Amino acid sequence: MIWKPDVTVAAVVEREGRFLMVEERTEDGLRLNQPAGHLEQGESLIEACTRETLEETAHGFTPRQLVGIYQWPRPRGDVTYLRFAFAGELGAFDATRTLDRGIVRTVWLSLQELETSADRHRSPLVLQCVRDHVAGHRYPMELIRHYG
């Protein structure tokens, strides 16, 4: 067996001090996460982030800056995630779109609300991405090169 990390993307979207989150059903119960998901074969990281945000929130999303790259081995030891988190512009809402399976709802939460609900987060990366965003971590998109 060849080991490899699970590559994921996440959208960090802030409006008036609140962050767009999704509440989703997981094997550990209801959890909070950014709009996020796995990179699929043949797509770029940017395309993956745009797609996942649309599927989980029914909003368009255009990544504009890289917030950070995060490596997290899940404590169970069965998987390591490599997450690319992007800040960007939230686009139009499509009221006719059905949210991805498992997504219960979207919610806007402040940093303080996220800190007090950390036990409900999908992973520690959720809060770290928001803290990095609040701290002004932004890197140019030119760091990401897609050849394909």
The predicted structure's pLDDT at residue 20: 98
Half-sphere exposure at residue 6, Cβ-oriented, CA atoms within 13 angstroms: 12
If we measure between CA atoms, which residue out of 29, 7, 31 comes closest to residue 21? 31
pLDDT, average across residues 55-63: 98
The pLDDT tens digits for 8-52 are 999 999 999 999 999 999 999 999 999 999 999 999 999 999 999
The predicted structure's pLDDT at residue 62: 98
The alpha-carbon radius of gyration of the chain (Å, integer) is 15
Report the topology of domain 6-92+101-143: Nucleoside Triphosphate Pyrophosphohydrolase (3.90.79)
pLDDT, average across residues 93-120: 97
pLDDT band at 100 (very low <50, low <70, confident <90, very high): very high
Instruction: List 89's β-bridge partners, or say none.
Output: 62
The predicted structure's pLDDT at residue 3: 87
Give the global pTM.
0.95
**Residue 77: φ, ψ to 5°:** 80, 5
Calculate ∠ Cα 50-51-56, nearest 5°.
105
Reply yes or no on whether the pLDDT at 2 is more than 90: no
